[in-house]
Structure 1
Amino acid sequence: MNGPDTVKLASAYVSKIQSGDILSIYVNSLSSDASSFFNPYSGQQAQSSDASGALSASVAPGFLVNQSGVIQLPLIGNVEIAGLTTNQATVLIQSRLTKFLKEPTVNIRVLNYKVSMLGEVSKPGVYVIPNEQVTIPEALSMAGDLAVTGRRDNIMIIREVNGKKEFGYVDLTSRDVFQSPYYYLHANDVVYVEPVKNKFIQTNFTYRILPLIIGIVSAVLIIFTRLR
Structure 2
Amino acid sequence: MRISIYCILLVLMSSSCTLLRTRNIVYFSDLPKDKPIITEQISQDKGPVIKPEDLLSISVVTLNPESNMLFNTGVLLPVGGSTGMRQQQQGGNNDATQGYLVDDQGYIEFPVLGRVKVAGLTREEANNKLTADLQEYLQEPIVKVRYLNFRVTVIGEVSNPSVVTAMDDNMNIIEALGMAGDLTLYGKREDVLVIREENGTRTMARLNLNDSNVFKSPYFNLHQNDVIYVEPDKAKVAGTGFVRRNWGFAVGIVSTALFLFVR
Q: Same fold (TM over 0.5)?
A: yes
**Structural mapping, 1:14-163, within 5 Å:** 14-41=47-74, 47=79, 57-59=83-85, 61-163=98-200
Q: 2:225 corresponds to which residue? A: 188
Per the TM alignment, residue 101 of structure 1 is displaced from its structure 2 partner at its CA by 2.9
Q: 1:147 to 1:125 in 2, by over 3 A?
A: same
Count residues in correspondence.
210
**Structural mapping, 1:186-225, within 5 Å:** 186-200=223-237
Q: Distance in 2 between matches of 1:10 and 1:166?
A: 20
Aligned-pair identity in percent equals: 36
Q: Which runs of 5+ in 2 are unaligned?
A: 1-33, 86-96
Per the TM alignment, residue 127 of structure 1 is displaced from its structure 2 partner at its CA by 1.4
Per the TM alignment, residue 163 of structure 1 is displaced from its structure 2 partner at its CA by 0.8
Q: 1:197 to 1:94 in 2, by over 3 A?
A: same
Please state whether the residue corresponding to 2:131 is helix, strand or coil: helix
Per the TM alignment, residue 156 of structure 1 is displaced from its structure 2 partner at its CA by 0.7
Give the conservation status (yes or no) of the 8 Å contact 2:148–2:168.
no
State the structure with more CA Rg.
2
Q: 2:38 corresponds to which residue? A: 6
Of the structure 1 ranges 66-75 and 9-18, higher mean CA displacement relative to structure 2 is found in 9-18
Structure 2-normalised TM-score? 0.67
Structure 1-normalised TM-score? 0.76
Which residue identity does 2:79 align to in structure 1? Q
Q: 1:106 to 1:148 in 2, by over 3 A?
A: same
Give the conservation status (yes or no) of the 8 Å contact 1:7–1:175.
no
Q: 1:174 to 1:206 in 2, by over 3 A?
A: farther
Q: Distance in 2 between matches of 1:158 and 1:175?
A: 20
Give the conservation status (yes or no) of the 8 Å contact 2:102–2:108.
yes
Please state whether the residue corresponding to 2:225 is helix, strand or coil: coil
Per the TM alignment, residue 187 of structure 1 is displaced from its structure 2 partner at its CA by 1.7
Which residue identity does 1:25 align to in structure 2? I
Give the conservation status (yes or no) of the 8 Å contact 1:134–1:185.
yes
Match of 1:172 among 203, 209, 213: 209
Give the conservation status (yes or no) of the 8 Å contact 1:150–1:193.
yes
Q: Distance in 2 between matches of 1:145 and 1:124?
A: 9
Give the conservation status (yes or no) of the 8 Å contact 1:13–1:184.
no
Q: What are the Cα deviations for residues 171-200 of structure 1, in whole angstroms up to 9, with x where unaligned? A: 111232222222222221110011111214
Give the conservation status (yes or no) of the 8 Å contact 2:45–2:218.
no
Q: Distance in 2 between matches of 1:126 and 1:34?
A: 37
